[in-house]
A = this chain, B = another copy of it.
Amino acid sequence: MDWDIHAFLKAKRDGQSHRPGEIRAFVQRLVAHQIPDYQTAAWLMAAFLQGLGQEELLELTLAMATAGTERNEPPLFAGTLDKHSTGGVGDSVTLLFLPICAASGMRIVKLSGRGLGFTGGTLDKLDAIPGFRTDLGLRELHAIADQVGCAQGGQSAELAPADKILYALRDATETVEHPALIASSVMSKKLAAGAESLVLDVKWGRGAFMTDREAARELARRMVEIGTGAGRRVAALLTDMNQPLSHAVGNALEVRAALDELRSGCQGRLGRVAVALAEEAAQLMGAAQTDVGEAVRSGAAFRKALEWIEAQGGRIDPHTPTYGLPVAAVQRPVYADEEGYVVGFDTRGIGEVARRLGAGRLSVEDVIHPAVGIELHVEIGSPVRSDAPWATVHAQNAASAEEAAAVLATSLELSESPPHPSALPPLVERP
């Protein structure tokens, strides 16, 4: 088609919708390195401020899912489920969701990225399990899913090359936090991965990338819109990330907490979110008669987790409290100066403390220390006494434990009375 970057920029600058084919032409040239970065950056800022309509967003996402690959359309694996979380502090839902779905008779192959900044990544968490292989190819992952029902692999950089280019520029130009642009980035990778059904866990709150509930709602709506437009089955839930979702933040600690939660029947916040998402998945997959709750209560989901981890090479000892996972050199309890009830956490701050302990990375070169992190012994509403630790720091040495404890002291918000349940947002809701 007759395409010109100047007319393209001018149209979005002036708030017009791009005509069909124009966004695809842009993305194809982008992947062919025919568009200078400054023109792409100008378009991103214009799109951020002027918005993208439904048709434009679908075209952008489909183009990103295929441009630079050998396909014209993204692949489609019938009967396969995928899940995506927008990420947050202590978000280890995937570690529960996979075995719960598999134990309920669904088939799921999930690809994840690594963590960056204050949130961890599923691959980093699984890497904390001795022997666990996250470097399997798609063929091996599907073979494991055929046998166990679920498999978890890493996301190849070449899955959606246009997204890689756009994301790097968005990061440099303050155009990351836009529902349409986030939606196209996430969905381009999910479409490229090929699952027929997709469950979205859209997090909001103080420990999520999106702190605003309405922005998260908009993001959820737009992701569902794209997925449905691309012919996939998609459901989304909004989940509350104002406090760490797990009682642990850190890789081995989160694996341990996830296994504990599965073993004890998913009564905690983490388990309830995983079960709610698995129930959405069962509906999407047309497995309405599947009893997700029964798979959890009967212990089948916990046994499936052990089976899955073993199938991917991981070595877990279910007969010790630490499951044989690595343990940090130093455990340092953290006490509150005052007593009261927990009314809030600086959740993002807690994520940053964990990262500084070595649980995450600021740049892709940073090395992860699997055993470090923070255990939380309270949640919002819990009483806090000055003679019982509300958290435990797991550190490589005493100095970094002290530093972490000092920052954590400022992360806990107490009040004389507990918050009324009606004042708290729902843990899970529809967008």
Q: Measuring CB to CB, which residues of chain A are less than 8 angstroms from any residue of chain B?
A: 6, 9-10, 13, 36-42, 44-46, 48-50, 169, 172-175
A174-B13 in contact (CB<8A): yes
Please give me the residue from chain B that is nearest to A46 by CB atom.
B45
A17 to B50: give the CA distance in the assembly, Å. Answer: 19
Contacts of A13 in B (CB 8 A): 45, 48-49, 174-175
Residues of chain B within 8 A of A41, CB atoms compared: 37-39, 41-42, 45, 173
Pairs across A and B, CB under 8 Å, 17 listed? A6-B174, A9-B173, A13-B45, A13-B48, A13-B174, A13-B175, A37-B41, A38-B173, A39-B172, A41-B41, A41-B42, A41-B45, A42-B173, A45-B45, A45-B46, A46-B49, A49-B49
Closest to A11 in B: B174
Shortest Cβ-Cβ A-B pairs, 10 listed: A42-B173, A38-B41, A45-B45, A9-B174, A37-B38, A41-B42, A42-B45, A41-B41, A10-B174, A49-B49
A324: min CB distance to chain B, Å: 43
Q: Which residues on B sit within 8 Å (CB–CB) of A40? A: 38
In the complex the two chains form, what is the Cα distance from A276 to B42 in whole Å?
Answer: 41
Q: How far is the CA of A10 from the CA of B42 in the complex (A)?
A: 14
- Measured in the bound complex, the distance between the Cα atoms of B13 and A50 in whole Å is 11
Complex Cα gap A420–B40 (Å) = 49
Interface SS majority for chain A: helix
The residue in chain B whose Cβ has the minimal distance to the Cβ of A174 is B9
Chain B residues closer than 8 Å to A9, beta-carbon distance: 173-174
A294 → chain B, closest Cβ, in Å? Answer: 49
B residues in contact with A169, CB < 8 Å: 38
Please determine whether A44 and B42 come into contact, CB atoms closer than 8 angstroms.
yes
CA distance A347 to B335 in the complex (A): 80
The answer to whether B172 touches A38 (Cβ under 8 A) is yes
- How many angstroms from the CA of A172 to the CA of B41 in the assembled complex? 11
Q: Which residues of B contact A45 (CB under 8 A)?
A: 13, 41-42, 45-46, 49
Residue on B with the closest CB to A37?
B38
Q: Which residues of B contact A6 (CB under 8 A)?
A: 174
- Closest residue of chain B to A15, judged by CB? B49
* A34 vs chain B, min Cβ distance (A): 14
A140 CB to nearest B CB, Å: 39
Query: How far apart sit A174 and B39, CA to CA, in the bound complex (Å)?
Result: 9
**Once the chains are docked, how many angstroms separate the CA of A415 from the CA of B126?**
80
> Shortest CB–CB separation between residue A301 and chain B, in angstroms?
43
A7 vs chain B, min Cβ distance (A) = 9
Task: State how many angstroms separate the Cβ of A22 from the closest Cβ of chain B.
Answer: 14
- What is the distance, in angstroms, from A170's C-beta to the closest C-beta of chain B? 9
Complex CA gap A385/B41 in Å reads 54
Which of A6, A42, A172, A175 has most B Cβ within 10 Å? Answer: A42
Residues of B with C-beta under 8 A to A173: 9, 38-39, 41-42
With the chains together, A172 CA to B44 CA distance in Å? Answer: 14
List the B side residues contacting A37 at CB < 8 Å: 36-38, 41
Q: Which residue of B lies closest to A47 (CB)?
A: B45
Known pairs A38-B173, A39-B172 / 19 extra A-B pairs, C-beta < 8 Å: A9-B173, A9-B174, A10-B174, A13-B48, A13-B174, A37-B37, A38-B40, A38-B41, A38-B169, A39-B41, A41-B41, A41-B45, A41-B173, A42-B42, A45-B45, A45-B46, A45-B49, A46-B49, A49-B49
